[in-house]
Amino acid sequence: MANVTGANSLFLDTARRLSRNRLAVAGGAVILVLAVVSVFPTFFSGADPSRIDTANMLASPSSVHPLGTDKLGRDVLSRMIHGAHISLQVGFISMGIATAIGLLMGLCAGYYGGWADAVISRFIDVMLCFPSFFLILSVIAFLGPSIVNIMVVIGLTGWMGVARLVRAETLSLKERDFVAAARAQGAGDGRIIFRHILPNALAPVLVSATLGVAGAILVESGLSFLGIGVQPPTPSWGNILTAGKDNIESAWWLSLYPGLAILVTVLGYNLLGEGIQEAVDPRLKAR
Amino acid sequence: MLRYILRRVLLMPVMLLGISVISFGVMHLAPGGPVSLASDLNPKVTAEARARLNAYYGLDKPLHVQYVNWLSRVGRFDFGDSFAPDGRKVWHKIRERIPVTLSINLLSEAIIFLVAVPLGLYAALRRGSFFDRASTVGVFVGFAMPGFWLALLLMILFGVKLGWLPISGLVSLEYDSLSFAGKMGDRARHLVLPVFVGAFSGLAGLSRFMRSNMLETIRQDYIATARAKGLSERVVLWRHAMRNALLPVITILGLSVPGLLGGSVIMESIFAIPGLGQLFFQGVMSRDYPLILAELVLTAFLTLLGNLLADVGYAVADPRIRTGN
């Protein structure tokens, strides 16, 4: 019982420190609003994002179209909201894949050591040699730019940081007394890894996952900018921006809003991630 | 130090082997192998080019034989012929573009270093001040801003609206008719926007790192000792703290090589700069497999080289490694 309250107060402590960090709270608020909007895109967007209206092409922002229309007369606000759904989906699923692989690799390398560690660590080093954008582009070039391919490839090229973090964390955790106690009670490797080590290694993983969502959104927008990201007519922030850049002189709103949306979202995730890091590790904050 | 460097160098073949295996694997991701995909998706690839590719990779042989064959050619910088209509050797196409991308990236790195280091140090010393908070927000915005978007906005502002700077290519059309000074000036003006955009997004990482590293260093015992000896605050900060806080920057600069190379794809496409990134993107769009593979291997190799140089630099700069074993 003492343990449980101990864990709770540690958690509350962290949450309190986090709530005092105004930048992190602002980041969290942005993320929350976006999450709600993007989970129910049809509820929040009035107009149909793919309804073409040739009478209203490149209309400037008005009460009917708060963010104007694009070159096919489609409502930009509505496309932005549906784009949020796609962009965040790419961000979360890619991050999920990367985190899962990174956790497994890191736990294996750190816990078993020896050959497993040597092989996994060299593998990480080799993967880090490839500029990830080059690797992603190559794979997309071979497999084609479907949204599933994009999420998988971003995930497969983004796990190395998590793996290194978890490996280092596991190396120190496995020497702790509570692991020895668990082993003395007859717990197997699997139980020790997933019940005792993993929960204690989660804090830094949470930070890197938060930053990972932001990174994946940026990568997808970059791919879309090059025309090999999420393919139209499915809207993503990246491809709305890309489509808008041809009309940047006459219809600035097409390029401004998606860029701002990416900027604010990525900023939100980064500020929250940094905030969590400082809250989890108060040493960083202490003078 | 010798042993430390020797270990790094001895690991190189292992790393190179890993790089080659992954690159080879990427090529064989294509369903049915690279040749059949080429014929399906790229009607421009003639039967003759496919036959050449077949001969180059020996695609009718077992996989491990293909790999060894390919590896022995790559070891001699023979990457085969490009699928592009010119059909030139891939290595020749890449070789002529390396200086462009390398010089732009080195310039960006230099600017990142010159701006981010003082920024991070000053923010650490004035922790919690207005400057600290403003620069924190500033670098985070820079980090979150999609590079291509920033490039687009700057092109509109400085290139189109104000007309101050050229927005594409490395030199103007009338470059050949300019005097020597004019040529240098023309080149410099073309580099302003690409280098600025490249450096801007890289500032955040290094300055944040510098800041937290300096904060960490100031807390060390030897700083307390230096203060206790009665040294002036200036000597403590500049001689004792900063030199130690600066050391890991060498590693960070080395680690930023792949990011900059990757970013050059988008940057060079936007600014129409004839570098490695643009060539790679053209290769991706035309499914020029020999080119894609060659660039994948070579950029990984460049990164490996960058990291090795950083490691050696670190060993030379840090007396704890230099004099130890």
The whole-number pLDDT of residue A160 equals 93
| The dihedral sign for the CA sequence A50, A56, A58, A64 | negative
Tens-digit pLDDT profile for residues B225-275 = 888 888 888 888 888 888 888 888 888 877 788 888 888 888 888 888 898
The whole-number pLDDT of residue A46 equals 66
Tens-digit pLDDT profile for residues A156-207 = 999 999 999 999 999 988 888 888 888 888 888 888 888 888 888 888 898 8
Tens-digit pLDDT profile for residues A51-91 = 776 666 666 777 666 667 777 767 778 888 888 888 899 99
Tens-digit pLDDT profile for residues A16-55 = 888 888 888 888 888 888 888 888 777 766 667 777 766 6
- Paired strand residues for A48: none
- Which of the pair, A253 or A258, is modelled with greater confidence? A258
The whole-number pLDDT of residue A152 equals 92
Set of chain B residues whose Cβ sits within 8 Å of the Cβ of A238: 146
The whole-number pLDDT of residue B202 equals 80
pLDDT at A2 over 50: no
Q: CA of B311 to nearest chain A CA: how many angstroms apart?
A: 14
Residue of B160, B280, B303 with shortest CB distance to A129:
B303
The total number of residues written for chain A in this structure: 287
Q: How is residue B170 written in tokens?
A: 């490395």
Q: How is residue A225 written in tokens?
A: 């900018």
Rounded Cα distance, B178 and B175, in Å:
5
- Residue numbers of chain B with a pLDDT score lower than 50: 37-41, 325
Do residues B258 and B299 touch, judged by C-beta distance below 8 A? Answer: yes
Residue A113, φ and ψ in degrees, nearest 5: 60, -160
Tell whether B262 lies on the interface with A, counting CB pairs under 8 A. Answer: yes
Rounded Cα distance, B90 and A26, in Å:
50
CA A57 to chain centre: 34
Set of chain A residues whose Cβ sits within 8 Å of the Cβ of B94: none
Element (H, E) at A2: helix A2-20
Three-state SS for B72? helix
When pLDDT is cut at 50, 70 and 90, the band that residue A284 belongs to is low
Q: Which of residues 179-218 of A touch B (CB under 8 A)?
A: 214, 218
Angle in degrees, 0-180, between the axes of helices B2-27 and B289-317, rounded to the nearest 10: 160
Rounded Cα distance, B325 and B322, in Å:
8
Residue of A139, A255, A265 with shortest CB distance to B29:
A139
Rounded Cα distance, A153 and A143, in Å:
10
Indicate yes or no: CB of A226 within 8 angstroms of CB of B153.
no
The whole-number pLDDT of residue A103 equals 94
Which distant-in-sequence residues (6+ apart) come within 8 Å of A25 by Cβ?
A18, A19, A275
Nearest residue of B to residue A265 by CA position? B144
The whole-number pLDDT of residue B325 equals 46
Set of chain A residues whose Cβ sits within 8 Å of the Cβ of B301: 129
Instruction: Tell the residue number behind the tokens 């090589």, with chain if given.
Output: B257
Indicate yes or no: CB of B296 within 8 angstroms of CB of A263.
no
Q: What is the 3-state secondary structure (H, E, C) of A158-177?
A: CCHHHHHHHHHHHHHHCCCH
Three-state SS for A69? strand
Do residues A55 and A25 touch, judged by C-beta distance below 8 A? Answer: no
CB atoms within 10 A of CB A59: 18
- Paired strand residues for A69: A75
Indicate yes or no: CB of B269 within 8 angstroms of CB of A226.
yes
Tell whether A156 lies on the interface with B, counting CB pairs under 8 A. Answer: no
Tens-digit pLDDT profile for residues A94-148 = 999 999 999 999 999 999 988 999 999 999 999 988 888 888 988 887 787 888 9
Tell whether B201 lies on the interface with A, counting CB pairs under 8 A. Answer: no
Set of chain A residues whose Cβ sits within 8 Å of the Cβ of B212: 284
Q: Evaluate whether the domain defined by A69-286 bears CATH number 1.10.10.10.
A: no
When pLDDT is cut at 50, 70 and 90, the band that residue A1 belongs to is very low
Tell whether B153 lies on the interface with A, counting CB pairs under 8 A. Answer: yes
Residue A197 per-residue DSSP state: I
Tell whether B71 lies on the interface with A, counting CB pairs under 8 A. Answer: no
Tens-digit pLDDT profile for residues B9-36 = 888 888 888 998 888 888 776 655 555 5
Tell whether B305 lies on the interface with A, counting CB pairs under 8 A. Answer: no
Indicate yes or no: CB of B140 within 8 angstroms of CB of A271.
yes
Determine the average pLDDT of the residues in A224-252. Answer: 81
The whole-number pLDDT of residue B49 equals 66
